[in-house]
């Protein structure tokens, strides 16, 4: 699954620089996550860095974008150029 930033976001911006895939960006009202870039930090870290640093705990898994660990690893490899 990709992650999702909920309406509880306080726009503190601490999550954005922590994302190794640059999937987090400032939306119109709150920060948002590009599901095409989010790998839940698979391939980079053991845990999603945005979730770890978020002070209000507003970044759950996105139920509309389910992906298993293998799919997330394949996305990581494609994003980093490790596969075509």
User: Which residue has 């509880």 as its token pair?
Assistant: 8
> What pLDDT sits at residue 13?
96
Which one, of 76, 65, 61, lies nearest residue 5 by Cα? 61
16-75, pLDDT tens digit by residue?
Answer: 999 999 999 999 999 999 999 999 999 999 999 999 999 999 999 999 999 999 999 999
- What's the rounded Cα separation, in Å, for the pair 19 and 60? 15
- Whether pTM > 0.95 for this model: the answer is no
E strands of 28-79, at which residues? 31-33
**What per-residue confidence (pLDDT) applies to 45?**
97
Question: CA-CA distance, 17 to 78, in Å (whole number)?
Answer: 21
């Amino acid at each position: 699954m990709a992650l999702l930033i909920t309406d509880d976001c306080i726009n503190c911006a601490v999550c954005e620089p922590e994302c190794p895939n640059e999937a987090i960006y400032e939306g119109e009202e709150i920060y948002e996550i590009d599901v095409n870039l989010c790998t839940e930090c698979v391939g980079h870290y053991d845990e999603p860095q945005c979730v770890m640093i978020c002070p209000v705990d507003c970044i759950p898994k996105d139920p509309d974008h389910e992906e298993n660990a293998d799919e997330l690893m394949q996305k990581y490899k494609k994003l980093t150029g490790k596969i075509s």
